[in-house]
Amino acid sequence: MPEHFTYKNGQLYCESVPVKALADKLGTPLYVYSQSHFTGQVEAIKQAFAEVDPLICYSVKANACLGLLRAMARVGCGFDAVSKGEIYRALRAGADSRMIVFAGVGKRDDEIDYALEKGILMFNVESESELTAISRVAARRGVEAGIALRLNPDVDPKTHKHISTGKRESKFGIDIERAKASLKRIRELKNLRLKGVHLHIGSQITENDRHAEAIAKVVPFIKEVKAADFPLEYINVGGGYGISYRGNEGLNITEFAAKMLPHIRETGLKMACEPGRYVSGNGGILLTRVIFDKPSGDKNFLIVDAAMNDLIRPAIYDAYHRIWPVQSEFAPDAEIAGDAGRVYDVVGPVCESTDVFAKARRLPATAEGELLAIFSAGAYGMAMSSTYNQRPRAAEVIVQGDKFWVARERESIEDLIRGERLTPREVFSAADL
């Protein structure tokens, strides 16, 4: 079980707050975050990599809740952003722009310009065309753009195919041969400063030598770049550190760091990293209430009030999320004998057959109206939510110790139609174009 979510006397707590009280007060579906988890994970990374004093750029895409980003900034995090919107959010949360890296395979000119205006640390560049675009926009602004080349090291991260990025056939990064050729291009282009080399081989990687292997593969390239007198400062090792969803499959950060550190030392560069899920994943749960208990065919469906629009990971990656009643005499994952338990499919109300949170899961017998917690929902939960089926987005609550606050209000049905019109304000004609 995630450290900051514990059962005491059969009641689930987030830190020192009983989550049932939160659901009763604020309604469901509800995301509940433990701030101590987020800051504690950052601390764990800092300690594991202490000897190279890493720049931790928390990956905004995993969980972009402003209140949490603010907490991250306050413990010294920089940010990894993939869009103008993420840079804006990070800055609104109090980020230091000089600690922001900007990744992504397709950056528009206006996004590049915005990042330059704000003075970010560097762009993770993924193609030669992008080099040209950044140089052009930086020249227009009369500034120098810091860049890092994102290399594709052709390493198998051994993770789900949908979140694997480090193999040669993926759309991400530049293969090392091509990267060598682009050094010439970087010299020719104006307003660029090659500050770093970047890697990100995939997400939810649970084998602790995958990153080390990737870094080892790019060390010779880094040496060449340094020998050619480029002002390299950083090796950005990306994110992807796997966490525990079921049991203890998550990375041991100390062992993981021990594998990587010799290679990082060999580069002689400062280390940057972009953890997302490792910081946020086990720091959040999604609370949902059972609407109906529906026996059908040979199955028992628990139909809950959260759905794939709130948490899409099970629907699109077949992801496993632990589920357990908020009030239960049984400890999570306990073997439940006889009638005290039942095998359920836990499903949402959305009109899609993939709107399923768990299939054939043995849980304590659960009645209509009871609350369930869906665990490990702090990463890529709310961040990937939508309003599909015209379902307003859930509220988000941040807990710290025995205090909590609503970091994002529940959307209303009025919010769902904001920006739309029933009738035209002005009608244009094709002939006027």
Q: Does 380 bind ligand LLP (CB under 6 A)?
A: yes
Nearer to ligand LLP among residue 240 and residue 364 (C-beta) = 240
Candidate residues 240, 283, 314, 364; the one interacting with ligand LLP per rule CB under 6 A:
240
Tell me the window of 71-79, 109-117, 273-281, 332-340 that interacts with ligand LLP (CB under 6 A).
Answer: 273-281
Q: Does 241 bind ligand LLP (CB under 6 A)?
A: yes
195-213: b (≥16 Cβ within 10 Å) or e = bbbbbbbbbbbbbbebbbb
Active-site annotation holds for 351: yes
* Binding footprint of ligand LLP, residue count (CB under 6 A): 21
Q: Does 59 bind ligand LLP (CB under 6 A)?
A: yes
DSSP letters for 297-331: TTEEEEEES--TTT--HHHHH-----EEESB-SSP
In the region spanning residues 68 to 97, those forming contacts with ligand LLP, defined by CB under 6 A, are 80
Nearer to ligand LLP among residue 46 and residue 141 (C-beta) = 46
Q: Does 277 bind ligand LLP (CB under 6 A)?
A: yes
E-strand ranges in 54-108 read: 55-59, 78-81, 100-102
Candidate residues 173, 238, 314, 378; the one interacting with ligand LLP per rule CB under 6 A:
238
DSSP letters for 85-152: HHHHHHHHTT--GGGEEE--S---HHHHHHHHHHT-SEEEE-SHHHHHHHHHHHHHHT-PEEEEEEEE
In the region spanning residues 22 to 51, those forming contacts with ligand LLP, defined by CB under 6 A, are none
Nearer to ligand LLP among residue 59 and residue 400 (C-beta) = 59
**Least distance (Å) between residue 42 CB and ligand LLP:** 12
Q: Does 245 bind ligand LLP (CB under 6 A)?
A: no
Q: Does 203 bind ligand LLP (CB under 6 A)?
A: yes
Q: Does 103 bind ligand LLP (CB under 6 A)?
A: yes
Q: Does 275 bind ligand LLP (CB under 6 A)?
A: yes
Q: Active site residue: 14, 57, 77, 351, which one?
A: 351
* Structural tokens at position 275: 């953890």
178: part of which helix (H) or strand (E)? helix 176-188
**Distances in Å between the alpha carbon of 66 and those of 26, 41, 58, 73, 398?**
19, 18, 13, 10, 11
Q: Find all residues with CB under 8 Å of 104, minimum gap 6, and list them.
A: 82, 83, 124, 126
Q: Does 126 bind ligand LLP (CB under 6 A)?
A: no
* Structural tokens at position 3: 């450290």
**Residue whose tokens read 């993981």:** 256
* Structural tokens at position 90: 């990070």
Whether the Cβ atoms of residue 31 and residue 348 lie closer than 8 Å to each other: no
Nearest partner of 218 among 230, 226, 206, judged by Cα: 226
Q: How many residues does the chain have?
A: 433
In the region spanning residues 349 to 378, those forming contacts with ligand LLP, defined by CB under 6 A, are none
Q: Does 200 bind ligand LLP (CB under 6 A)?
A: yes
Whether the Cβ atoms of residue 276 and residue 59 lie closer than 8 Å to each other: yes
**Least distance (Å) between residue 64 CB and ligand LLP:** 12
Nearer to ligand LLP among residue 189 and residue 205 (C-beta) = 205
Task: List the x/- string, 157-176, binding to ligand LLP by CB under 6 A.
Answer: ------x-------------
- Residues marked active site are found at 351
**Positions that interact with ligand LLP (CB under 6 A):** 59, 62, 80, 103, 163, 200, 203-204, 238-241, 274-278, 313, 317, 379-380
